[in-house]
A and B are shown apart, each in its own frame.
Chain A
Amino acid sequence: MSTLRRLLAVGAVFVASFVLVEHAGTVLSAPRPRATPAPAPESFVKDQVLVKFRPIQSEHRLSAVAVRGHTVLADLDRSGWTRINTRAGQTVAEALASYQGDPSVEAVQPNYVYRALLAPNDPSYGQLWGLKNIGQTIGTGSYAPTSGTAGADINIENAWDHITDCSSVVVAVIDSGVNYNHEDLAGNMWDGGPGFPLHGTDFVSGDDDPMDLAGHGTHVAATIGAVGNNATGTTGVCWVARIMALRVLDATGSGTTAGIVQAVNFAVSHGAKVINMSLGGGSFDQAFSDALNNARANDVVVVVAAGNSAFDNDLPGGAYPCKFTHANLICVAALDQNFSLATFSNYGATSVDVGAPGTNVLSAVNGTWSTITDNFNSGGTLNWTTSGGGWAYRALSLGGSPVDVLANPTTFPSGTYSNNANQRAFKTFTLGPSAATLLSFSIQFALQPGDFLKLNYRSSGGDPFAGGVALDSVTGFSGGLVGSDYDISACASPCSVGFQLSTNASGVDQGVGIAFFAIDQLTLNNTTYDTFNGTSMASPHVAGLAALLRAYNPQFTYVDVANAIKNGGRSVPALAGKTTSGRAADAMSSLAYINAPTALRATLQ
Chain B
Amino acid sequence: MSLRAGWIGGLAAVILAASWSCGNSQGNPEPAPVGSKAEGTRAPGEYLVTLAPQANATVIRNLYSGFDIRALKPLGPNLYLMQIANDPGPAVIEQRAKTSRDIKAIQPNYTYRNREKR
Contact = CB atoms under 8 A, between A and B. Distances in A.
A143 B11 CA distance: 27
Contact of B19 (A262, A313, A346, A480): A480
Contacts, number: 228
B112 to A, nearest CB: 4
Contacts of B8: 472-475
B116 A472 contact: no
B16 A481 contact: yes
A324 to B, nearest CB: 13
B30 A344 contact: no
Given A258-B75, A513-B20, A476 B43 contact: no
B56 interface: no
Interface stretch (A21-29, A366-374, A533-541, A581-589): A533-541
Given A400-B28, A536-B114, A480 B16 contact: yes
14 contacts: A253-B12, A254-B113, A256-B110, A258-B81, A261-B48, A278-B114, A279-B113, A283-B42, A308-B33, A317-B36, A397-B25, A414-B22, A482-B11, A484-B12
Contact of A216 (B48, B105, B116): B116
A403 B20 contact: yes
Contacts of A313: 36
A600 B112 CA distance: 47
A476 B4 contact: yes
Given A280-B113, A397-B28, A480-B18, 8 more contacts: A254-B10, A258-B46, A279-B115, A308-B115, A308-B116, A317-B40, A474-B7, A481-B15
Contact of A483 (B15, B25, B110): B15
A480 B15 contact: yes
A116 interface: no
The 4 residue pairs across chains A and B that have the minimum distance between CB atoms: A476-B5, A282-B40, A400-B25, A282-B39
A135 interface: no
Interface in B65-118: 73, 75-76, 79, 81, 105, 107-117
Nearest to A403: B20
A275 interface: no
A480 B38 CA distance: 13
Interface in B13-49: 14-26, 28-31, 33-43, 46, 48
Interface string A259-291: 011100100000000000011111101111010
B11 A397 contact: no
Contact of A286 (B5, B12, B25, B105): B105
B107 A287 contact: yes
Contacts of B58: none
A532 B36 CA distance: 20
Contacts of B22: 396-397, 413-414
Which of B8, B36, B108, B109 has the largest count of A CB atoms less than 10 A from its CB?
B36
A258 B114 contact: no
Nearest to B83: A258
Contact of B7 (A143, A282, A397, A473): A473
B25 A472 contact: no
A473 B107 CA distance: 24
Given A305-B115, A413-B22, A484-B12, A281 B110 contact: yes
B48 A258 contact: yes
A89 B78 CA distance: 70
B113 to A, nearest CB: 5
Given A254-B12, A282-B40, A481-B31, A444 B19 contact: yes
B114 A249 contact: yes
A191 interface: no
Contacts of A346: 36
A486 interface: yes
Interface string A189-220: 00000000000000000000000001010010
B116 A532 contact: yes
A281 B40 contact: yes
A309 interface: yes
B62 interface: no
Nearest to A288: B110
A256 B43 contact: yes
B71 to A, nearest CB: 11
A442 B16 contact: yes
Contacts of A477: 5
B112 A254 contact: yes
Contacts of A520: none
Contact of B16 (A309, A471, A483): A483
Nearest to B82: A258
